Amino acid sequence: MNLRSNVMRIVVRVGLTLSLVCLVWLAWAAMRGSIALAADPTGLGGTADAAVDYVWILVCAFLVMFMQPGFAMLEAGFCRAKNATNLMTKNLMDYVTGSLVFFIIGYAIMMGGDWHGLWGTEGWLMLGDYYDVDKYLNMFWMLVFCATAATIVSGAVAERLKFKAYFIYSIVVSAIIYPIYGHWVWGGGWLSQLPFGLGAVDFAGSGVVHAIGGFVGLAGAMVLGPRFGKYDRDGKPRAIPGHSIVLAALGVFILWFGWFGFNSGSTCNAHHLRIAVIAVNTNLAAAAATLSALLIAKWRTKKWDTGMALNGAVAGLVAITAPCAWVEGWAAIAIGLIAGGLMYASVKFLEAKGIDDPVGAISVHGTCGLWGLLSLGFFADGTYGNYSVEAPYVTGLLYGGGGEQLLAQFISCIVVFAWAFGTGYLTFKLMDKAFGVRISPEEELQGLDIPEHGTPAYPDFVTMRKS
Amino acid sequence: MNLRSNVMRIVVRVGLTLSLVCLVWLAWAAMRGSIALAADPTGLGGTADAAVDYVWILVCAFLVMFMQPGFAMLEAGFCRAKNATNLMTKNLMDYVTGSLVFFIIGYAIMMGGDWHGLWGTEGWLMLGDYYDVDKYLNMFWMLVFCATAATIVSGAVAERLKFKAYFIYSIVVSAIIYPIYGHWVWGGGWLSQLPFGLGAVDFAGSGVVHAIGGFVGLAGAMVLGPRFGKYDRDGKPRAIPGHSIVLAALGVFILWFGWFGFNSGSTCNAHHLRIAVIAVNTNLAAAAATLSALLIAKWRTKKWDTGMALNGAVAGLVAITAPCAWVEGWAAIAIGLIAGGLMYASVKFLEAKGIDDPVGAISVHGTCGLWGLLSLGFFADGTYGNYSVEAPYVTGLLYGGGGEQLLAQFISCIVVFAWAFGTGYLTFKLMDKAFGVRISPEEELQGLDIPEHGTPAYPDFVTMRKS
Amino acid sequence: MNLRSNVMRIVVRVGLTLSLVCLVWLAWAAMRGSIALAADPTGLGGTADAAVDYVWILVCAFLVMFMQPGFAMLEAGFCRAKNATNLMTKNLMDYVTGSLVFFIIGYAIMMGGDWHGLWGTEGWLMLGDYYDVDKYLNMFWMLVFCATAATIVSGAVAERLKFKAYFIYSIVVSAIIYPIYGHWVWGGGWLSQLPFGLGAVDFAGSGVVHAIGGFVGLAGAMVLGPRFGKYDRDGKPRAIPGHSIVLAALGVFILWFGWFGFNSGSTCNAHHLRIAVIAVNTNLAAAAATLSALLIAKWRTKKWDTGMALNGAVAGLVAITAPCAWVEGWAAIAIGLIAGGLMYASVKFLEAKGIDDPVGAISVHGTCGLWGLLSLGFFADGTYGNYSVEAPYVTGLLYGGGGEQLLAQFISCIVVFAWAFGTGYLTFKLMDKAFGVRISPEEELQGLDIPEHGTPAYPDFVTMRKS
Amino acid sequence: MKKIEAIIRIEKFEEVKDALKKAGYPGMTKTPVEGHGKQKGLKEQFRGTTFEVEFPPKIKLEIVARDSEVNQIVDTIVTSARTGEVGDGKIFIYPVESVIRVRTGEKGEEAL
Amino acid sequence: MKKIEAIIRIEKFEEVKDALKKAGYPGMTKTPVEGHGKQKGLKEQFRGTTFEVEFPPKIKLEIVARDSEVNQIVDTIVTSARTGEVGDGKIFIYPVESVIRVRTGEKGEEAL
Amino acid sequence: MKKIEAIIRIEKFEEVKDALKKAGYPGMTKTPVEGHGKQKGLKEQFRGTTFEVEFPPKIKLEIVARDSEVNQIVDTIVTSARTGEVGDGKIFIYPVESVIRVRTGEKGEEAL
Ligand SMILES: Nc1ncnc2c1ncn2[C@@H]1O[C@H](COP(=O)(O)OP(=O)(O)O)[C@@H](O)[C@H]1O
Ligand SMILES: Nc1ncnc2c1ncn2[C@@H]1O[C@H](COP(=O)(O)OP(=O)(O)O)[C@@H](O)[C@H]1O
Ligand SMILES: Nc1ncnc2c1ncn2[C@@H]1O[C@H](COP(=O)(O)OP(=O)(O)O)[C@@H](O)[C@H]1O
C-alpha cells in the first residue's frame, strides 16, 4: 500500500519534471535557430497538384484521428458502466501520449532515414531539415496511424489494468513498438525489401497498425489474466454484457466512417484515382463481414446478435486494410465474408483458452489483421502498384501472380506476430514486476472509475448490475 | 410457433447458402479474367482536375455514409430504451444489405444503360467494363444515397417490426424500389425526359431518396398498425416519449453535418463553384425549418418543444435537398420556414389518422420531400443548370420561368408517391401474409431487444417506464 | 407570474410575426430581381486552382459546423441529467439563430466594406452583388465561426438561464457582438491596422471567436450568480458532477476533430501548404495541454482527473488557434503545456471568486483565448505571413522580431476583453431588468427540462442524485 | 391498516394499474426491483455467449390500505397480474402502525 | 423500534436531509420511487403531444429508529418536506422486530 | 413469517448471493438504494474539486422467510457480507402477515 503510493508519487514527480525539462529543452532548441534553409516550412510550392494532394491527405488524416472516439465509444459500450470513465481517460491519453511521443521521437525512428534496414536515426522533434511542410504532412499521417495502433490495446486490457501502467505502455508503443515495425514495412526497412513479389506489402496497415495493436493486446490480456467473474468455478466462460449497445454501435459507425480516410488516404496521393476503388472495397468488406458475423451468430445462437455484428464490421475493415488497393469489389466481399467467420471463431477460441478480451480486440485486429496481410497474396489483381499507378503491380495467386507475394505476406505475418507479442509481453511483464499492473480485487469489483479517477461516469443514474 | 421457427430456420439456411453460392460465384467470375481492357481500374488519368473532383466526391460520399449513425441515434433517441438494440441492428444491417445488394445488382438496374426509359441492364457486380475508377466512384456515390433511402424506413416501423422482415425489406428497397425510381430521374429514365421545363429534376434527392424512404415507411406503418399504447380506448393519440433527447440531438447534428456532403457533393464536380451556394442554402433551410417548428410548437403547446425542433431541422434539410442548387439564400429560408410548418401539420395529421410513426419519418422525409420537389418549381432562379454551369438553367415560377418546371415537378411528386407507397405496401403486405411482420404483443411489451437479439441495450442501468 | 407569461406571449407573437414579415420581405426582394450582373452566382470560374480551394474551405467549414455537437455533448456531459434537454435545445437554437441572423445582417456588418474601421455597411441578406459564389463561400466560413462563438456561452450560463433569454442573447451575439469585433480584426477594421508588427493578428480566432465567447460567458455567469448548491453555507465551493463523462469525452473528441477544420481551414487557401504545419500544431498543443492538465490535477488531487484532462484538451486547442500558422511544433507543445496550467489555475480562481461556470467555458475559452493571442507575440517564427506565403512574415520576441507584435497582441487582448465583457454584461443585465434571466428556484431544483421544454431527457431511466 | 407489497411482471404493470383504477385507485408507490423466486433466470446473450440473468427485473407496488380494503385489492392484483407461468410474482402483507400526510399533518386512516 | 418510511418530493430531499442532520442524523436508506396518492399526474410532452405522468418520481426515505425517537423524526420530516401543495407525500410507520449490524453482528437497538 | 431486509455493499452482493444459494436459495428481491449509517460519505471528485457522496450506493435484499429459517439466513448474510469496515450494512427484521403467490393464488407459507 505504502510502497505503491510511493511509486505513484515518484511517477507523477518524474512526469512533471520531464514536462519541465522538455519545455526548457524546447526553448533552447529554438534559440539556436532551428529553421534550416534546405527545408520549406512556409509551403511555397503550392501548385494545384500539390494543393489537392495536401487537401486529400489532411482530410483523410482528420478522419483517421476521428477513429479515436470510435474506439472509445465501442470499448465503453462493450464494457461496464463502472469502468466508463477509465476507458474514456485511457482512450484520450493514448492519443495524447502518442501525439507527443511520436512527434518527439517516434517519427525519427520510423521515417528518419534508414540504418541497416532496422530503424531511422534523424528528425527528432522535427527540427531543422524536418521543419518542412512535406515532412510535417507525412509525420501527421504516420502519427494518426500510430495512435490507432496504440488505442486498440485498451480494449483487450479493459476493466482491470492500472491507469499508470496504461500510460507507460502507451509511451512504449508510440516510441518503439510501432515505429520500428513501421520502419520495416513502410520506412524502407528489411521487410519491404524481401526478395519475394514486391516485398512484404501492407497497403494501409492490417499488419503495421492492427496486428500490432491486436497482439500487444494479447500480451496484455495474458499478463493480466481474465476479469473477476469472466469464468465460473468450472472454468466455463460467462458473458459480461457491455453497458450500452448504442454507444458500441455509434463507435462502429464512427470507425467505419473514419476508415475511409484510413484506407483511401493511404495512397498519400489524390492523383491516384484508384482511391475510388479503395473506398468501395473498404465498404464492401465491412458490409460482408458484418453479414457473415451476424448470420453465423444467428445460426449458432438463434438470435440476431448485435454485438457480433458490430465486431464483424470492424473485422471486415481490418481485413481489407492491407489489400484494399490491390483487389476488385468481388474480392473485397470474399475477404470480408471470411473475416467475419474468422473473427467469430477467434473470439470463441480465445474465450475457451482462458484469454479474456472484453471487446474482442485481439480477434478483430490481430486475427483479421493477419488475414488481411495474407489475403492480398491470393486476391491482388495486378492493377495497382506499390503506392504507384505504374508497374510493377501487385499480383496474387488467383490472378496468376504465383505464390511469391503470398510468401512475402506470410513472412510478414510471422514477423508482426512475433514482434508485437514479444515486445508487448516484455513491456507488460516488466511493469508487472515493477509495480503490479493489475488493479486490486476490491477496486476491480467496485470499478476503476472511482478509485483511479475519483469520478463516476454516470452519477445521476441508478445503476444495478455493477458486478 | 413451430411454423414460424421453421420459417426462420429456412431463412437462415437460405441466407447462409446464398452467401456460400455468392462466394463461389465471385471466385468463378474472377477466374474468367474479369478485367476489361476498355476500362481503367488503375486510375491513370489523374490530372489535378480529375483529382480534385475525386477528392470532392469521395469526401462528400463519406459524409453521406456518416448520416447512418445520425439516423441511428435520432431513431434510438426518439424510441424507448427497450428497443434500442433492435434499432441499432436495423440501422446497421440496412447499410450492410444496401452496400452489398446495390453493388451486386442495384447499380446495374439504376445506372447500367437504359432500357426504354425504365431501367438499366448491365454492370452486375461491377465486373468487366465496370471495373473502372469512374464507374466505381459513381457507384459509391449512388450506394450511399441508396442506403440513406433504406434507413429512413426503420424509424416509421420502429418498435414493432420483426427483424427478419426488416432484413428482407432492406434487400427489396436496395435492389428494386430505389434503383428503378432512381433510374427514372437520375439514370436518364422517363421522368428526366418529361417534356416540361428541363424534365423532372431533383438535385440531391428530396424525391429519389427522401420521399421514397418516407412513403415506403408510410406503407410499412400502415401494414403494421400503431404500437400498443399509442392510442387510448377512445382512439386519442398518446405521446410515447423517446428514451434520450441527447441521442436524438446528436443524431440531428450528425445528419446536418452529413447533409453538406449529400447536397453539395451532388454536383459530382468540384469545378462547379456553385457548391458554395449549395452549402449555404442547405444550412439556411435547416435553420429556418428548425425555427418555424420550434415557434409553432411554442405557440401550440406553450413549451419550447425540443423534439419538434429536431424534427424541424431534418424537415428543412429534406426540403432543400431537391432545390439546393437552383435557389438563392433568401429562398432557402422561405423553403425552410414552410417545411417546418408542413412537417408539424403532417405529424399532427398522421397521428390523428391513426398512423403511428414513432420518429416522424413520414412527415419529415415524405411530406417535406414532396415540398422540396415542388418548391424549386417556384423558387429556381435561373443561375444553374442540370448539374451544369451552362445553360439551359432551371427557372421557376417566381423568376419568370413560367409553370412548366412546376408541372414537371408536380408529376414527379405523384409518381414518387405512387411508386414508393405502392411497392412498399406490396412488400410489407406480402411478407405479412407469408410469416407475419409484426412481433407478438408480449414481445412488443417487453421490447424487441431481448426476444430478437438476446441483448438488452443498457443492462447496467435501472430503467422504469418500460411500457 | 402574470406579467411574465404576458411577456412570453408577446415574445412568441413577435417572433412569429417577424418570421412572416421576413418571408414577405424575402419574396419581395426576389421580385425586384436581386441578381446582379457583376456577381457570379453560377460559379463559372471553376479552374482546378479555384476548385481545390473551394473543396478545402467547404470541407473545413463542415468540420467547424460539426463542432456544434461537440460543444453540445461536452456541456451536457458536464451538467446534470435534469438539464440535458435544455442544453440540447440551447445548443441547437444558437446555431439556428446564428445561421439566420448572420446571413441576414451579421455578414454585412462584419465583411460588407468598412466604415471608418468600425463596421461594414452592405451585403444585407447577401442580395445583389453578394449573390456570388466567392461571397457565399466567405459568408459560410464566417458563419460557422460566429456560431462557435455563440455556443460557447451556453456552457457558462448552464442550468439556470431561461431559454427565452438565451434565445435573445444568441441574436445579439450573432448580429452585433461577434460581427463588430470580427470586423476590427478580420474585416480590415482598426485593430488589424495597429501600427505595431503586422497589426493585431489572430490566425483562426483565439480572440475573435473564443475570447469573445468566453468573456460574454463571464458576463452571463456574473449576472446570473452561481447555481443553487454550488457553494455551501460558508461559501466553500462544492463540485456538482456532470451526468456523463462519456458524453463529455465524446464531445471533446468531436471538438478536436472539428478543430482541424477550424485552424487549417483558416488559410482560406489550399495552396498554402503550410496547412500541414497548422494541423500538426493544432494536434500538439491539444495533446500537451491535456497532459499538463492531467498531471497538475494528479499532483493536486492524487487522482487521474478525467474532467480536467478533457478541459485541458480544449484549452490547448483554444490557445493554439491564434498562433497555429506562425509557430513550429515545439512551440505548439510549449503553448499547450502552459495553456493546460493556465486553465487549471483559472478554473480554481473563478471558483474561489464565486463565479460559477459549470463546464469551465470561461477559463478554457476566455483565459486561454488571451494566452493564444499573446503567445504568438513570443513564438511566431517568421515563416508565414498574414494569410500569405509571402513576406512580411509574423515574427515574435523569441525569433528576433522584437516586442512590436507582442504589443499589438497585448492591445487586442485588452480590447477583446473589454468589448466582450462589456457588451455581454449589458445584454444580460438589460434582459434581467426586463423580464428576469434566471429561472425560479423551484424550477432550478427540478431541472429546466420539464418546466421549459416539457420533455425530460431520459424518461426511461431511473435517476437519483437530481439535486 | 396494512401494507400490500406486490412484486409483478413489468409487462403486466399497465394492466394491474388499470384494474386498480377501476377498483378505486388507491395511492401507491412503484419501485423497479430485480428478484427471483421459483422462477429460473432468463437467458440473455452478449457477443455470442449466453448468460443467465439470475434476477429478472420486476416491478414492486406498495399500497397501504384500510384493513377492509385489503382483500379486494389483493384480488384485483392477483387477477390482473396473472399469466399462469412461473415468474408471475408474489404479494406480501405487512402490518402498518400509522400514516401521516405530510401536506396537512393528518394522522391515521384519514391520511390515506 | 419502528421503521419510518417517508415518500417525499425530490426537490425537498436536500432540505429534509439537512433538517435530519440537525436533529441527530439517524441512519437512513434512500430509494428512487414513483407514486401517486391524491396528487394527479404531471403533464409532460414529447414532439408536440402532451401526456400524463401518472406516477411522478419521488424519493422514499427509510429510517429505523427507537420508539422514543419516532415522533421527533416524523415531525422533522413533516416540517421540512411540506410545501402545502398536493404531492407533498406520506409517512408510514411499521413495526420492526430486530436489527443486526453486519460489521459486528450486534443485535437490537445498539445496532442502530 | 418474517421479512429480512439486508442493506449490503454492492461489491459483496455476488458473495452473499452465492452463500444464500448454498443455504437453499430462498426467493428474494433486490433493490438499488443509497444510504448512510455510521459510515461517513465517500469522497469523489469532478473537474478537480472533491465532494462527499453522503449516501453511498448500496444493495437492499428482501427475503420473506419462515420463522424457523430466519436465523440461518441472517447468519449467512452476516458472514458473507462482512468486511469489518464501517459501511458493511444492516439487517432489519419485520413481521409479515401473509403471502400470496400470484400465479396460483395460494396463500400463506406454501406460497413462499
Ligand atoms: N421469499 C421471497 N422474499 C422476497 N421476495 C420474493 C420471495 N419470493 C419471491 N419474491 C419476489 O417475487 C418475484 C416473483 O417470484 P416468482 O419466481 O414469480 O414466484 P413464483 O414462485 O410465484 O413463480 C421474485 O422475482 C422476487 O422479486
Ligand atoms: N396508500 C398509499 N400507499 C402507498 N403509497 C402511497 C399511498 N398514498 C400515497 N403514497 C405515496 O406517497 C406519494 C405522495 O402522495 P401524495 O399524492 O402527495 O399524497 P397527498 O394525498 O398527501 O397529497 C405518492 O406519490 C405515493 O408514492
Ligand atoms: N437506522 C437506519 N435506518 C434505515 N437504514 C439504515 C439505518 N442505518 C443504516 N442504514 C442503512 O444501512 C446501510 C449501512 O449502514 P452502515 O453505515 O454500514 O452501518 P454500520 O453502522 O453498521 O457501519 C446504510 O447505507 C443505510 O442504507
Gap between the Cα atoms of C26 and E29, Å rounded: 62
Residues F4-31, mean pLDDT to the nearest whole number: 93
| Triad D68, D71, D74: Cα angle to 5° | 135
Ligand 3 centroid, distance to F32 Cα (angstroms):
14
The answer to whether A343 touches B36, Cβ cutoff 8 Å, is no
| pLDDT, position E40 | 73
Q: What is the pLDDT of residues F64-102, one digit of tens each?
A: 999 999 999 999 999 999 999 999 999 999 999 999 999
Q: Is the pLDDT of residue B33 over 60?
A: no
The region of weakest confidence among B36-45, B79-88, E71-80 is B36-45
Answer whether E90 contacts ligand 2 (Cβ < 6 A): yes
Which atom of ligand 3 is found nearest the CA of F90? 12
Selected for mutation to probe chain B from D12, D44, D45, D51 (highest B CB count within 10 Å) is D44
Going by C-alpha positions, the residue among F48, A458, F53 that lies closest to residue C243 is A458
Going by C-alpha positions, the residue among B225, B226, B220, B227 that lies closest to residue B421 is B220
The answer to whether A177 touches A424, Cβ cutoff 8 Å, is yes
Q: Which three cell numbers stand for residue C307?
A: 474532467
Residue B354 CB contacts under 8 Å (≥ 6 apart), including other chains? B226, B231, B235
Residue nearest to atom 13 of ligand 3 (CA): F89
In this structure, the number of other CB atoms found within 10 A of the CB of residue B27 comes to: 15
Phi-psi region of C197 (alpha: psi -120 to 50; beta: other; left: phi over 0): left
| pLDDT, position C16 | 60
Closest ligand to C-alpha of residue E8 is 2
Give residue ranges with CB within 6 A of ligand 3.
E 26-29, 62-64, 101, 103, 112; F 7, 33, 35-39, 58, 86-90
CATH number of E2-111: 3.30.70.120
Which atom of ligand 3 is found nearest the CA of F34? 27
Residue nearest to atom 5 of ligand 1 (CA): F28
Mean pLDDT (chain C) is: 93
Q: Is the pLDDT of residue C30 over 60?
A: no
Closest ligand to C-alpha of residue F29 is 1
Gap between the Cα atoms of C259 and A463, Å rounded: 35
- First-to-last alpha carbon distance for chain B, in angstroms, is 24
Q: Which three cell numbers stand for residue B64?
A: 453521406
Of F53 and A167, the one with more pLDDT: A167
Please report the DSSP string for A297-326 in residue order.
HHHHHSS--HHHHHHHHHHHHHHHHTTTTT
Q: Residue E45 in 3-state DSSP?
A: strand
What Å distances lie between residue A20 and B149, C284, C333, CA to CA?
55, 16, 12
Gap between the Cα atoms of D99 and F15, Å rounded: 37
| pLDDT, position E23 | 87
Q: Is C7 on the interface with B (CB under 8 A)?
A: no
* Residue A40 to chain C, least CA–CA distance (Å): 9
Q: Is the pLDDT of residue B455 over 90?
A: yes
Going by C-alpha positions, the residue among A443, A423, A72, A439 that lies closest to residue A220 is A423
Q: Which three cell numbers stand for residue E53?
A: 405522468
Amino acid present at E3: K
Spell out which residues of chain C touch residue E14, defining contact as CB-CB under 8 Å: 229, 467
Nearest CA in chain A to B13: A299
- pLDDT band at B252, cuts 50/70/90? very high
Ligand 2 centroid, distance to E90 Cα (angstroms):
5
Ligand 1 centroid, distance to D70 Cα (angstroms):
20
Q: Which three cell numbers stand for residue A13?
A: 514527480
| pLDDT, position A5 | 56
Going by C-alpha positions, the residue among B429, B315, B406 that lies closest to residue B365 is B315
The region of weakest confidence among A81-95, B229-243, C6-20, C81-95 is C6-20
- pLDDT band at B80, cuts 50/70/90? very high
| pLDDT, position C466 | 56
Of A467 and A103, the one with more pLDDT: A103
Residues A420-445, mean pLDDT to the nearest whole number: 97
Closest partner CB to C26 (pick from B242, B330, B466): B330
Beta bridge partners of D32: D59
C29-60 burial code (b ≥16 CB/10 A, e <16) = bbeeebbeeebbbbbeebebbbbbbbbbbbbb
Nearest CA in chain F to A453: F45
pLDDT digit of tens for each residue in chain D (112 aa)?
999 999 999 989 999 999 999 988 889 999 999 998 877 778 999 999 999 888 999 999 999 999 999 999 999 999 999 999 999 999 999 999 999 999 999 998 888 8
Residue nearest to atom 2 of ligand 2 (CA): D27
- Cell 481545390: give the residue: C52
The answer to whether D6 touches D77, Cβ cutoff 8 Å, is yes
Selected for mutation to probe chain C from A5, A40, A42, A142 (highest C CB count within 10 Å) is A42
A434 CB-side CA count, 13 A: 15
Selected for mutation to probe chain C from E17, E21, E29, E44 (highest C CB count within 10 Å) is E44
Ligand 3 centroid, distance to F62 Cα (angstroms):
15
Going by C-alpha positions, the residue among A296, A280, A285, A279 that lies closest to residue A336 is A285
- pLDDT band at A36, cuts 50/70/90? low
* Residue A96 to chain B, least CA–CA distance (Å): 25
Establish whether this prediction's ipTM goes over 0.90: yes
Q: Which of residues 222-281 of A touch C (CB under 8 A)?
A: 247
Q: Is the pLDDT of residue F112 over 70?
A: yes
| Triad B357, B362, B367: Cα angle to 5° | 145
Phi, psi of F64 (to 5 degrees): -95, 125
Residues A114-138, mean pLDDT to the nearest whole number: 95
Residue C9 CB contacts under 8 Å (≥ 6 apart), including other chains? none
Closest partner CB to B307 (pick from E34, E46, E51): E46
The region of weakest confidence among A367-376, B41-50, B85-94 is B41-50
Going by C-alpha positions, the residue among A283, A398, A395 that lies closest to residue A332 is A283
Q: Quick one: E84 exposed, middle or buried, by C-beta within 10 A (0-12, 13-18, 19+)? A: exposed
Q: Describe the crossing of helices A275-301 and A245-264 by its angle, rounded to 10 degrees.
A: 150
The answer to whether B341 touches B292, Cβ cutoff 8 Å, is yes
Ligand 2 centroid, distance to D111 Cα (angstroms):
9
Gap between the Cα atoms of A244 and A248, Å rounded: 6
What Å distances lie between residue C386 and C185, C186, C326, CA to CA?
12, 11, 9
Domain residue spans in chain A? 22-459
**Contact: F2, E30; criterion CB under 8 Å:** no
- pLDDT band at C414, cuts 50/70/90? very high
- pLDDT band at F20, cuts 50/70/90? very high
Per-residue DSSP letter, A38? S
Gap between the Cα atoms of B136 and A443, Å rounded: 53
Residue nearest to atom 8 of ligand 3 (CA): E27
- First-to-last alpha carbon distance for chain E, in angstroms, is 10
Gap between the Cα atoms of E45 and E49, Å rounded: 5
Percentage above 90 pLDDT, chain C: 89
Highest average pLDDT, of A21-35, A325-339, F47-61, comes from A325-339
Going by C-alpha positions, the residue among A155, A170, A376 that lies closest to residue A285 is A376
Q: What is the pLDDT of residues C85-129, one digit of tens each?
A: 999 999 999 999 999 999 999 999 999 999 999 999 999 999 999
The answer to whether B55 touches A270, Cβ cutoff 8 Å, is yes
Q: Is the pLDDT of residue C37 over 80?
A: no
Gap between the Cα atoms of C320 and C330, Å rounded: 12
Give residue ranges with CB within 6 A of ligand 1.
D 7, 33, 35-39, 58, 86-90; F 26-29, 62-64, 101, 103, 112
Rg (CA), chain F: 17
Using CB atoms, which chains have 3+ pairs under 8 A with C?
A, B, E, F
Gap between the Cα atoms of C264 and C286, Å rounded: 14
Gap between the Cα atoms of F30 and F44, Å rounded: 26
Q: What is the pLDDT of residues A237-249, one digit of tens each?
A: 999 999 999 999 9
Gap between the Cα atoms of B75 and A256, Å rounded: 19
Consecutive H or E run containing A430: helix A404-435
Answer whether D109 contacts ligand 2 (Cβ < 6 A): no
Gap between the Cα atoms of B87 and B85, Å rounded: 5
Going by C-alpha positions, the residue among A307, A350, A347, A74 that lies closest to residue A219 is A350
- pLDDT band at B1, cuts 50/70/90? very low
Residue nearest to atom 26 of ligand 1 (CA): D35
Gap between the Cα atoms of A243 and A240, Å rounded: 9
Q: Which three cell numbers stand for residue C463?
A: 435517476
The answer to whether A256 touches B33, Cβ cutoff 8 Å, is no
The answer to whether A364 touches A213, Cβ cutoff 8 Å, is no
- Cell 428497443: give the residue: B83
The answer to whether A367 touches A347, Cβ cutoff 8 Å, is no
Q: Which three cell numbers stand for residue C118?
A: 468600425
Please report the DSSP string for chain D in residue order.
-EEEEEEE-GGGHHHHHHHHHHTT---EEEEEEEEESSSPPEEEEETTEEEEESS-EEEEEEEEE-HHHHHHHHHHHHHHH--SSTT--EEEEEE--EEEETTT--BGGGG-
Q: Describe the crossing of helices C368-379 and C306-321 by its angle, rounded to 10 degrees.
A: 50
Which atom of ligand 1 is found nearest the CA of D34? 27
Spell out which residues of chain D touch residue A241, defining contact as CB-CB under 8 Å: 44, 46, 51
Sign of the alpha-carbon torsion through B446, B448, B453, B455 = negative
Gap between the Cα atoms of C35 and C129, Å rounded: 7
Q: What is the pLDDT of residues B313-368, one digit of tens each?
A: 999 999 999 999 999 999 999 999 999 999 999 999 999 999 999 999 999 999 99
CATH number of B22-459: 1.10.3430.10
